Amino acid sequence: MLTTMKLNLLFIIALFVCVLSYGQGEMDAYRYSNNDLSGTARGQAMGGAFGALGGDVTGVAINPAGIGIYRSSEIVANMSLTSPMGNYLEGNAKFHFDNLSYISYYPYVKGSMLSLNFGFNYSRIKSFDQRYTASRPGMNSSLTDYMVILTNGIGHDRMDMGNFYSNSSSVPWLGALAWDGGLINKGNANYEYISILNEDERVRPSLKVSEKGKVESYDFTIGSNIANTFYWGATLSIIDLLYVLKSEYDEDFLGEEGGGFNLTNYLETKGSGLQVKLGAIFKPTDVLRLGLSYHSPVWYSMSDYYQAGLTPRGIYFGDKLAGYTSTPESTSNYNLRTPGSLTFSLAAVLGTQAIVSIDYENKNYAFMNLKDDRGKDFAEDNSYIKEDYKSTSTVRAGLEFRFTPQFSGRLGYAWAQNPYRSDIVTTGERVVTAGTVPHYALSGNVNYMTAGLGFRFTPQFYGDLALVLRTQDDNLYFFPPDLQGTTLADSFQGTFANKTLKALVTLGYRF
């Protein structure tokens, strides 16, 4: 029998976990807070290092002051083809229309102000599209063990009430599915549960995940040229987000009794948000340019549609075979604040022949924040965010060399640091997933190796090509290996080599 103190502790843990089980968690907040390398073929070929250069819609997106560099109007369109290359990734190459931009140049001489420029830019700043599978021939820990940890602390009488999926209930949805599907049983005490697996029984897990969606930004920018020395700019961005997850986690029980189960999840998230960007570029000489820009957080209003189902195999309630069980179709609304960022930029324009540029960006993911649609903090989630995330650095560098007045070559590199504190990366400690989605990946550092060519067909019309190789090693987990001090050490699948190769074409016309 458990002591009164232990029972109270289990009950408190259960209440803590249940709050997380209904809404988004720290992994979801990060998914919607970081973006990929994006922009024109010229900008990406130079590693995205355009914060001090301007004169390109990539630079305007990084530093709005870049719009002041323009001395003509411009229309730009950008397309890409992305192919997966990772060890678990599946699927074919996908075509995307990434950018459509219009820059309007107005000579406006008033004192030292030489122009007042306006711009609109549509940009696909992130794609969620990927599919992957993972499996192991045998594993010592089972998702049923994780289900037990989630459910411990809930009185047996509450499990029999039939109100598992009510938001007023303290029963976590994954625990409710496990109970309905016969994967967990009552333990000796009223607040205790046990897995149906025998001690030391191994399982064979497999995971299939399909993710789709995108983040799109609609940018409205104004900026000016002051005496060909100082440039300023400001952008108002309207952000649209769509994310769709379909996952299937399956376990075969390898004991003498056999059996197993299949867990499916469907999650659709839609969001809209606002962001403000401010920037300045200072040109002390014809060669040197210095840039500084600030991107505010994105203030998102989010909406989730969600359902999960569990299909047991060979599991009985007495003499009755356990059947399919599911959560109701559910929706939830909440707010997300992403972290803001600061970018420092330096560029050297070496006559008409070469450009060297570097950007440094700082972003603190511990500032992510989740609230319900009434403005009340998700206190536990936000506490975990502050504990598990840190300030990150991103470095972008690029080189452009003009071989002839019409033909240019470009090289670039970018590195983005992962946002997790070291103990999370090495052990998975403290990670709690939301809803009944057990799996997750801890993102590693991202490397971009880029190259491209540019050709000016006429003084007005030009075309650019680029190749971008993106590499990232993620730690993939079937379910959290450590929750509330209880260790399920054998839930780690391995390193997920997340690689993509992207080809881009940009066409532009200046007038």
C-alpha triplet 184, 187, 192: angle, nearest 5°: 90
Q: pLDDT category, 3, cuts 50, 70, 90?
A: very low
Which of 174 and 220 is assigned the larger pLDDT? 220
Is 244's pLDDT higher than 90? yes
Indicate the range of 89-103, 156-170, 230-244 predicted with least confidence: 156-170
176: phi then psi, degrees, rounded to nearest 5: -65, -40
- pLDDT of 23 reads 56
Is 165's pLDDT higher than 60? no
Measuring CA to CA, which residue among 236, 305, 239, 295 is closest to residue 272? 239
What does the chain come to in residues? 511
Which of 423 and 506 is assigned the larger pLDDT? 506
Q: Coil, strand or helix: which one is 152?
A: coil
Measuring CA to CA, which residue among 148, 260, 135, 141 is closest to residue 200? 141
- pLDDT of 5 reads 37
CA–CA separation, 422 and 216 (whole Å) = 31
CA–CA separation, 225 and 52 (whole Å) = 14
**DSSP secondary structure letter of residue 279:** E
Q: Coil, strand or helix: which one is 407?
A: strand
Buried/exposed 444-465: b ≥16 CB within 10 Å, e otherwise: bebebebbbbbebeeeeebebb
Count other C-beta atoms under 10 Å from residue 160's C-beta. 10
The continuous run of DSSP H or E covering 114 comes out as strand 113-127
Share of the chain above pLDDT 90, in %: 69
CA–CA separation, 306 and 325 (whole Å) = 15
**DSSP secondary structure letter of residue 174:** H
| Domain 4-510, CATH number (from 3.90.550.10, 3.60.9.10, 3.40.50.300, 2.40.160.60) | 2.40.160.60
Buried/exposed 288-300: b ≥16 CB within 10 Å, e otherwise: ebebbbebbbbbb
| CA-to-CA dists, residue 477 to 143, 313, 331, 432, 474, angstroms | 11, 23, 26, 12, 10
- pLDDT of 425 reads 63
**Chain segment 464-489, per-residue pLDDT in tens:** 999 999 999 988 899 888 665 566 66
**Chain segment 490-508, per-residue pLDDT in tens:** 888 888 888 999 999 999 9
Q: pLDDT category, 13, cuts 50, 70, 90?
A: very low
- pLDDT of 483 reads 61
- Each domain of the chain, given as residue ranges in start order, spans 4-510
Is 430's pLDDT higher than 80? no
Half-sphere exposure of 443 (CA within 13 A, CB side): 22
pTM given for the model = 0.90
Count other C-beta atoms under 10 Å from residue 392's C-beta. 20
